[in-house]
Amino acid sequence: MSLLIKNGRIITATDDYFGDILIDGETIVAIGNAFDEGDLDPEQVIDATGKLVFPGGIDPHTHLAMPFMGAFSSDDYESGTLAALYGGTTTLIDYAIQSKGESLYSTLNTWKQKAEGKTYGDYSFHIAITDYNDDVRNELKDIIEKEGISSFKTFMAYKGSLMIDDRQMLDIMNEVKKFGGLIAVHATNGDMIDYLVNKYVSEKKLSPLYHYLSQPEITESEAAGRFIDLAFQSGVKAYVVHMTCEGAINKVRQATLRNQNLFIESCPQYLLLDASLYDKDFEGAKWVMSPPLREKKDQQALWSGIQQGLIQVIGTDHCPFMWKDKKKGEHDFTKIPNGAPGIEHRLELLYSEGVLKNRIDLNKFVEINSTNAAKIFGLFPQKGTIAPGSDADLVIFDPNKEHTISVDTHHHNCDYSAYEGWKVKGKTETVILRGQIAIKNGEINIEKGYGKFLKRKKPL
């Protein structure tokens, strides 16, 4: 199929211009000015006058159909990729979590099976290594070079389940470095958190507020600093997921004084929501996530970190749970499954709260939503930009449309919204995925299963 998008304002990480985009099959074949429709004879034409055209969003931090803390995250690969598409995210990189005793190959196959045939959008996986041993070490080369999984996640917290120790971390780093891969981390100090959790439980302080109080800023800044130092020592490419606070950003700032391949991600919830939400008694469970929401001064530090180039990526850490599952922790915050929904709202929140409030410009918007993730996770230039030869993954965005985020209108399979009642200006209008018009006029136009697994290259 050929498709011509006319008169859009085309935004990439570096450019901002008016033009026409010609798509043939799955690929962008030409970009120009005032193409003559008669000459090109495209099968379909979209007039994007007055609209912004962005590369499809890439969310590199999601948890779909994940068993966690006695429940399953409530979006599976069908509903999760659909919600993502409605919000302008055409590709996501989900976490395949190794179970105890499982090989990395088995982990990958398990998670591929969950997704295969069910996705609307394109997807890949990072593998989270939670049970490291010699057999796992021996799998790393093939997983990176044959399977196209070039990033691995490690946890410095969730003591007793997902956490690994520093010795294991260093060995994983050294091995992954040999093959050009990247190590991502959930950087909070699992022992400090465990100590504080036990203290509050023994004092019968069991409301969601104590989830927040058991993960103070220093638990994150300490672990982020330690991880950054370990990564520097090993020379591996390193990525800290969901950074939330000033103390951790300052560790990154210090590291810029030396030459290190270090990348940082934050999430809309940490930029926009704050810890006062934990004062709402059990309703605070809606925002029980790890790390927890922080203070206003941390939001300021994160926005500055984006502007200063210390934070390169905004993912969502989309990990929704139904309220009935959150309620398992009604009398004990340690039983509240950690995570919140957000995959659909990333672009619209960042446009409305970021671009329109002059915290970021349009090029930075594209960088943090798409281009940097594509580069860091080995998808560029197939994904992450608008250029001849790239996949035709495009978002046609109405910069003037106002709407209100609500559980009544979102596409997440979750019975609450983390942003209920939040008013935004700017809306994803049309989404094109590999040349197919996927979302138009609020309707999905592609079949379930159209989304495909992406083998990734090594990080740039």
The residues binding ligand URP (CB under 6 A) are 63, 186, 289-290, 317, 319, 338-339
CB of 390 to ligand URP, least distance (A): 30
CB of 1 to Zn ion, least distance (A): 36
Are the beta carbons of 315 and 61 closer than 8 angstroms? Answer: yes
Contact characters 173-202, Zn ion, x per CB under 5 A: -------------x----------------
d(CA 231, CA 397): 39
Structure tokens at 386: 């608008």
CB of 145 to ligand URP, least distance (A): 27
- Pick one of ligand URP, Zn ion, none as the site partner of residue 339 (Cβ within 5 to 8 A by kind): ligand URP
Q: What DSSP line would sit under 74-137, residue for residue?
A: S--HHHHHHHHHHTTEEEEEEEEEPPTT--HHHHHHHHHHHHTTT-SSEEEEEEE--S--HHHH
Using CB atoms within 10 A of its CB, is residue 261 exposed (0-12), middle (13-18) or buried (19+)? Answer: middle
Q: Pick the stretch among 133-141, 194-202, 309-317, 395-403 that binds Zn ion (CB under 5 A).
A: 309-317
- Pick one of ligand URP, Zn ion, none as the site partner of residue 367 (Cβ within 5 to 8 A by kind): none
Tell me the residue type at 365: F
- Pick one of ligand URP, Zn ion, none as the site partner of residue 292 (Cβ within 5 to 8 A by kind): none
Structure tokens at 130: 């939670």
Q: How far is CA 54 from the centre of its chain?
A: 17
CB of 258 to ligand URP, least distance (A): 28
CB of 195 to ligand URP, least distance (A): 19
- Pick one of ligand URP, Zn ion, none as the site partner of residue 289 (Cβ within 5 to 8 A by kind): ligand URP
Please identify, using beta-carbon distances, which residue of 234 and 338 lies nearer to Zn ion. 338
Provide the b/e sequence for 326-354 (b: ≥16 CB within 10 Å): bebbeeebbbbbbbbbbbbbbbbbbbbbb
Contacts of 369 by beta carbon, 8 Å cutoff, 6+ apart? 54, 57, 58, 314, 346, 347, 350
- Pick one of ligand URP, Zn ion, none as the site partner of residue 79 (Cβ within 5 to 8 A by kind): none
Please identify, using beta-carbon distances, which residue of 104 and 193 lies nearer to ligand URP. 193
When asked if residue 410 is in the footprint of Zn ion (CB under 5 A), the reply is no
- Pick one of Zn ion, ligand URP, none as the site partner of residue 338 (Cβ within 5 to 8 A by kind): ligand URP
Please name every residue paired with 153 in a beta bridge, in sequence order, or none if there are none.
Answer: 128, 184
Among 78, 217, 317, 393, binds Zn ion (CB under 5 A): 317
Residue ranges that bind Zn ion, judged by CB under 5 A: 186, 317
